[in-house]
Amino acid sequence: MAKQKQATRDRILDAAEKLFAQKGFEGVSVRQIMSAADADVSLAYYHFKSKRDLFDQVMLRRVEYLNEIRLQALTEVEERHSDDAPTVEEIIGAFTQPLMQLLADDHDKWSHYYQLIAQINNSPDQGGVLMSRYFDPLVSRFIEALRKALPDCDDEDLYWSYHFLSGALTLTFAETGRIDNLSGGVCSSKDIASINERMHVFLAAGFEKLCEKS
Amino acid sequence: MAKQKQATRDRILDAAEKLFAQKGFEGVSVRQIMSAADADVSLAYYHFKSKRDLFDQVMLRRVEYLNEIRLQALTEVEERHSDDAPTVEEIIGAFTQPLMQLLADDHDKWSHYYQLIAQINNSPDQGGVLMSRYFDPLVSRFIEALRKALPDCDDEDLYWSYHFLSGALTLTFAETGRIDNLSGGVCSSKDIASINERMHVFLAAGFEKLCEKS
DNA sequence: CACAGAATTCAACGATCGTTGAATACTAGT
DNA sequence: ACTAGTATTCAACGATCGTTGAATTCTGTG
């Protein structure tokens, strides 16, 4: 029955996701979005309450699934260790691996969403509030797991370590092309396999070093 | 002679820097900027060619000095080691310390600028190009130094390590308030001393671990 | 086929956007 | 005090912004 409705709504969300990711919330007009979605301007206000609401729905469309699979990855790691605690590297792997898996499976579907998150995370205006709203429950679970893996680590070191991780993670998934320029072609922003080999190693070492110090 | 001119021009740049940092290039109108600068709208187009040019001048105003003092910090570290190579931690300290020093000396002057850089760095649209334009000469010098400190490290590991560093650095200086929320007040985005104790330790450990592997 | 409700189109609103040209005020050197 | 050039003000341009209400088409049910 309401098939076409969902189809159009999704086309709008797809176009909005892509354009918001590229140009930011204010950098794109509703007209541009609807033009990219090949639909009339006023349809945006039939399916969504406002431009801001459209943005929110773009965010909410994928965040639940994202949190779900990452939480599942963490519990799987924990269940594999019935008696002892998982290693830092395993926990960080559970945090980052699912994101890379989605990107490898369907790059076009997820890349724009990750770019959007990177922009929000680094937005001084509302970034802190929005990121906390979407991700803090999940992140708190991961930090809890990391606390067990690093029992001598005090909370301040733990939170700052996670913050560094967050910055590295979101920039890497933003695929800005910076590393392509800087490295003169040696590295590519979109080379997921290369990232997959390195990120968790780099970050786990930071956690362990900073926490052994405390 | 042209004293008042410089004063007004600087007031415009200050207001633009602050508002661009908070809301992004498209999120702020020339009228809002000029209102914050307490000057007539058309003065923006007397002192600058366009809104885009104003943005460029905001960036260029501080970037040279920034690159200068960071390069100086690196050469000082290198000169301290006449025969052997500086450690990774020293090199990264030279890269990050000057930024923190400026922030500690005059927070209001530099915080908005750092926020702007964080947004640009994470912008999928033009971020890679702009960051490379402003910072690649300096960054290449640092990577060169790091290559000497880590002679067994291959370039791919080196560039990716720097990329992780870049993300952690820019997010941390964006002062989004995220870590305040996440930690429930245990950590503060603006606690420069806490960052200063931890960032170079965390990042140096990542470099060393990733590069010893290769 | 008739009818209801969902989906889409069309035209337009007031507000604000970036930008400009002409007129005015200020400031320095002679 | 006269003047040249710098700095600032004022008013306005066409374009585009987010948003809306009413009219129209589509779609599945009786």
pLDDT digits (tens, 9 = 90+) for A38-52: 999 999 999 999 999
CA distance B103 to B109: 8
> What is the rounded CA–CA span in Å between residue B78 and residue B86?
6
The pLDDT assigned to A83 comes to 86
CA distance A173 to chain B (A): 9
A67, B2, B42 from A95: Cα distances, Å: 10, 57, 50
A1 pLDDT more than 50: no
Helix, strand and coil in chain B, % to nearest 5: 80, 0, 20
**Which nucleotide C1' is nearest A44 CA?**
D19
How far is the C-alpha of B176 from the C-alpha of B170, rounded, in Å?
11
pLDDT, mean of residues A65-83: 96
DSSP B98: H
The mean per-residue pLDDT over the stretch B21-28 comes to 97
Encoded amino acid at B152, one letter: D
Round to whole Å and give the CA distance between A20 and A115.
Answer: 9
Q: What pTM value is reported for the model?
A: 0.95
Question: For residue A5, what pLDDT band results from cuts at 50, 70 and 90?
Answer: low
Do the beta carbons of residue B162 and residue B96 sit within 8 Å?
no
At residue B82, the pLDDT reads 86
Predicted pLDDT at B2: 37
Average pLDDT in the B168-184 region?
98
Q: Which tens digits make up the pLDDT trace of A127-168?
A: 999 999 999 999 999 999 999 999 999 999 999 999 999 999
Residues of B in contact with A143 (CB under 8 A): 182
Residue ranges, comma separated, of all CATH 1.10.10.60 domains in chain A are 1-48
Query: Over 80: is that where the pLDDT of A213 sits?
Result: no
The average pLDDT across B50-63 equals 98
Positions of CATH 1.10.357.10 in chain B:
62-213
Rounded to 5, what percent of chain A is helix, strand, coil? 80, 0, 20
Residue A85 pLDDT: 87
Span B188-211, pLDDT tens digits: 999 999 999 999 999 999 999 999
Give tens-digit pLDDT for A109-123. Answer: 999 999 999 999 999
As a whole number of angstroms, the distance between CA B182 and CA A74 comes to: 19
Taking every pair of Cα atoms in chain A, the longest distance, rounded to a whole number of angstroms, is: 62
Is the domain covering A62-213 a CATH 1.10.357.10 domain?
yes
Q: What is the mean pLDDT of chain B?
A: 95
Whether pLDDT at B1 is above 60: no
d(CA A36, CA A33): 5
Task: Supply the pLDDT for residue A82.
Answer: 86
Q: How far apart are CA B214 and CA B205, in angstroms?
A: 15
Is A25 touching B (CB cutoff 8 A)?
A: yes
User: Is residue B3 pLDDT above 60, yes or no?
Assistant: no
Average pLDDT for A165-177: 98
pLDDT in tens, A184-197: 999 999 999 999 99
Kindly state the tokens that stand for B117.
């850089």
Question: Average pLDDT for residues A50-66, to the nearest whole number?
Answer: 97
Nucleotides of D under 7 A from a protein CB: 6-12, 16-22, 26-29
Residue B214, chain A, CB below 8 Å: the answer is no
Kindly provide the residue ranges of all beta strands, DSSP E only, lying in chain B, ordered along the sequence.
Answer: none
pLDDT band for A212, please (50, 70, 90 cuts).
confident
Strand C contact with B1 (CB < 7 A): yes
pLDDT at A214: 59
Report whether pLDDT(B169) > 90: yes
Measure in Å the smallest separation between the Cα of B103 and chain A Cα atoms: 16
Specify the DSSP element, H or E, that contains A162: helix A155-174
Look up the CATH superfamily of A1-48: Homeodomain-like (1.10.10.60)
Query: pLDDT band at B5, cuts 50/70/90?
Result: low
